[in-house]
């Protein structure tokens, strides 16, 4: 296997990890939230934070490295056309994802405190969850756009 093919496989796997982990995290957090059970939410959010740390963060670091190497080997300009637009969408995703990670940690901690004390979830939990939910839409849409751009490679 040549270097280009190896990088392309790594890049596609990274894209699949970002898309799959993002969708999975959203699903499990939403289902836990719907239970309104602080113990379930705390446990699920703990796993979600771990998954984001292990899987999403790794892919976030490797994607631009493999993407830049692929663009260089293929002779594509890095900051224009579909690659440039992909990078813009990548930044949009990051601007949504970073606060989401912080929010997930806070949701976990608030749910854990409620579970340990036997108290209901505080209003702050619900405000943060709404923000987490809203930030997921542009982030997920941007990742879908990036995947489309990678596959279609439109002339822009």
Q: What is the pLDDT of residues 61-114, one digit of tens each?
A: 999 999 999 999 999 999 989 999 999 999 999 999 999 999 999 999 999 999
Kindly report the CA angle at 92 between 64 and 26, in degrees rounded to 5? 95
**Residue 1: its pLDDT value, please?**
84
pLDDT tens digits, residue range 25-75? Answer: 999 999 999 999 999 999 999 999 999 999 999 999 999 999 999 999 999
Exposed/middle/buried for residue 64 (C-beta within 10 Å: 0-12, 13-18, 19+): middle
Stretch 139-143: mean pLDDT = 96
Exposed/middle/buried for residue 96 (C-beta within 10 Å: 0-12, 13-18, 19+): buried
**Residue 5: its pLDDT value, please?**
97
Using DSSP's 3-state secondary structure scheme, residue 79 falls into coil
Residue 76 · residue 86 · CB < 8 Å = no
Going from N- to C-terminal start, the domains of the chain cover 3-152
**Residue 110: its pLDDT value, please?**
98
For residues 136 and 130, give the distance between their C-alpha atoms in angstroms, rounded to a whole number.
10
Other beta carbons within 10 Å of 63:
20
For residues 103 and 129, give the distance between their C-alpha atoms in angstroms, rounded to a whole number.
8
Quickly tell me which residue has 């979830």 as its tokens. 121
**Residue 156: its pLDDT value, please?**
86
* Global confidence as pTM: 0.91
């Amino acid at each position: 296997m040549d270097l280009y093919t190896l990088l392309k496989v790594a890049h596609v796997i990274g894209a699949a990890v970002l898309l799959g982990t993002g969708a999975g995290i959203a699903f499990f957090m939403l289902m836990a939230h719907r239970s309104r059970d602080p113990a379930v939410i705390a446990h699920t959010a703990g796993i979600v934070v771990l998954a984001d740390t292990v899987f999403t963060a790794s892919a976030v670091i490797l994607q631009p490295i493999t993407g830049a190497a692929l663009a260089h080997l293929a002779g594509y300009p890095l900051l224009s056309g579909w690659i440039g637009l992909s990078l813009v969408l990548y930044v949009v995703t990051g601007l949504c994802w970073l606060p989401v990670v912080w929010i997930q940690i806070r949701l976990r901690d608030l749910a854990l405190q409620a579970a340990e004390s036997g108290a209901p979830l505080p209003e702050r939990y619900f405000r943060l969850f709404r923000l987490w939910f809203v930030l997921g839409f542009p982030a997920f849409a941007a990742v879908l756009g990036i995947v489309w751009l990678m596959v279609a490679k439109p002339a822009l």
